[in-house]
A = this chain, B = another copy of it.
Amino acid sequence: MKRDIFQAIADPTRRAIIALIALQAMTPNAIAENFHTTRQAVSKHLRILTECELVHQEQRGREIYYRLEIDKMKEIDEWLEQYRKIWETRFEQLGEVLKEMKNAEART
């Protein structure tokens, strides 16, 4: 089953997990302690995040540390880029409008 990064971040719990492990890798149990849900539910979310490579596992003894693959987040940024261009262009146009208004005012 092919997973999509956009589908991965669609769920609020998954976004919270991402935020939680962004700075330091954590085990499923440690993650689950931060939510009002079972370890298994968290495990399922981690599986989805792993499937689309947003998260990587590091086995250490009987514990598995999950760590955010921050580079994967850049994919969202790249997708957003096309729209960023649009809103920045709009902003520049607004600047132009303001400039012309000032010129018009100066001429009066």
Contacts and interface: CB of A to CB of B under 8 A. Distances in A.
* Copies, count: 2
Contacts of A82: 19, 22
Given A10-B6, A80-B80, A74 B86 contact: no
Contacts of A44: none
Interface string A46-78: 000000000000000000000000110110110
Contacts of A23: 86
Given A4-B12, A6-B15, A77 B80 contact: yes
Interface in A21-42: 22-23
6 contacts: A4-B10, A6-B6, A9-B10, A22-B83, A22-B86, A73-B87
